[in-house]
Amino acid sequence: MEQALTSKRFLGAVGGVTVATGLFAAWIGLRIGGDRVTLWVDDLATPLAALIACVLCLRARARHSGRMRLFWSLLGCATASWTLAEVIWGYYALILDMEVPTPSWADLGYLSAIPLTVAALVVHPASRGSGTRKARSVFDGLVIATALLFLSWTLVLGPLWRSANLSTWAGIVTLAYPFGDVVIVFFIVLAIRGMTGGNRLSLWCLLAALLAMALSDSTFTYLTEVAKYTGGDVIDTGWIVAYLGIALAAFSSQADGAMVPRAERSRPSLASLISPLLPVLLALTVAAVEIRLGQHLDRAAWLMAFGLIALVLARQGLMVLELLAPSRDANAGLMQRLTHAALGGAGGGDGPGSGYEPL
């Protein structure tokens, strides 16, 4: 009964987030009320969404103890940093009525949230573990992060790297966002791989939110570089999705009693085996299209591509070892039972205390 009620509440929250995001996207896309009204709606809605995420993270913190309390505390600090950055951005755009400079004080808030988010994911209980499963989780994260880095480098980072002046703060700040997002995605994959189905709902919401933020950051960086970004752009919907996604993750987090680490010996699911390969296929598709269009991959892109192939091969090898582990354990258990039965039979006893197990 309680689980059904929780599920209904979560679906209601998802519906509310969907409606709010749709209304925001429609308002921004149609520019209802004109450019100035659209700008006000944009720059007031984004800090409000970040503030909602911050409040719900702090509420989730109260439901937990130990490492999970620290996790939600750090994530709450990260969302607070994003909220402050959005307020500063709005102050530039709405009160001072000027284009937000690069770098600005808002960048300090945005960039400060990245290490706080990474720290939160590092202390998450699901990021701990040992053995083959933990090693494959690390390789899963590396595969996905490398694939995303390859995509970002090919489409956004590479051109920026060649054109940006890295001797200035503006150039460094411009490149810091996509790199930071890739690091965050790596650690969120590690956390998701270490939790059971019920606990993973919150982390899946968080992953979707951070992926939306990564995509928005990369798109914003590209549009800013080619001077095509304007305040109140429809891509700002990505940050609304990100903040409200974090809010959903906090809202759906289960109390400590429901947190159950994934069994070390459990057989990996089909989804966990296939999902890390999807960004790899996307990265290889983009590389094939680039080459087909006559564009050449630079040295860094080729290194990433070869590194991605090596990581996939290593990951597949670890997956084979993980799949074989239950079989080896079963065979060892069978041999132990047969040996125990043989010793019991040699002693001449087949009673209750003999250890003999009839076949």
SS3 assignment, position 230: coil
Residues 6+ apart with CB under 8 A from 87: 47
Residues 6+ apart with CB under 8 A from 55: none
The structure tokens listed for 342 are 């043989």
In whole angstroms, what separates CA 314 from the centre of its chain?
22
Cis peptide before 103 (omega within 30 of 0): yes
194 — phi, psi (to 5°)? -105, 5
SS3 assignment, position 138: helix
Q: Which single residue is written with the structure tokens 């990245």?
A: 114
Closest by Cα among 63, 61, 89, 87 to 75: 61
Q: Residue 79: what pLDDT? A: 96
Q: Residue 171: what pLDDT? A: 66
The structure tokens listed for 102 are 């690069």
Residues 6+ apart with CB under 8 A from 88: 104, 105, 106, 109
Q: In tens digits, what is the pLDDT along the chain, a chain of 359 residues?
A: 445 556 788 888 899 999 999 999 999 988 898 888 999 999 999 999 999 999 999 999 988 888 889 999 999 999 999 999 999 999 998 998 888 887 788 889 998 998 999 888 888 877 665 556 666 667 777 787 788 778 777 776 676 666 666 666 766 777 777 778 777 877 777 776 666 555 678 888 888 898 888 888 877 777 776 666 676 778 889 999 999 999 999 998 877 544 444 444 455 555 556 666 777 787 778 777 777 777 777 777 788 888 888 888 887 777 777 667 655 555 555 556 556 555 554 444 444 444 434 33
Q: Can you list the alpha helix ranges (DSSP code H) found in the chain? A: 2-30, 35-62, 66-90, 105-123, 131-152, 158-163, 169-193, 197-225, 237-252, 270-274, 277-292, 299-346
Evaluate whether 121 touches 73 at the Cβ level (below 8 Å).
no
CA distance between the termini of the chain: 44
For residue 250, CA distances in Å to 67, 112, 116, 165, 209 come to: 15, 20, 16, 39, 12
Rounded Cα distance, 34 and 25, in Å: 15
Give the number of residues written for the chain. 359
SS3 assignment, position 51: helix
CA-angle at 188, arms to 186 and 193, nearest 5° = 100
Rounded Cα distance, 141 and 185, in Å: 8
Q: Residue 267: what pLDDT? A: 53
Q: Residue 56: what pLDDT? A: 95
pTM: 0.72
Evaluate whether 79 touches 57 at the Cβ level (below 8 Å).
yes
SS3 assignment, position 195: strand
SS3 assignment, position 255: coil
In whole angstroms, what separates CA 330 from the centre of its chain?
35
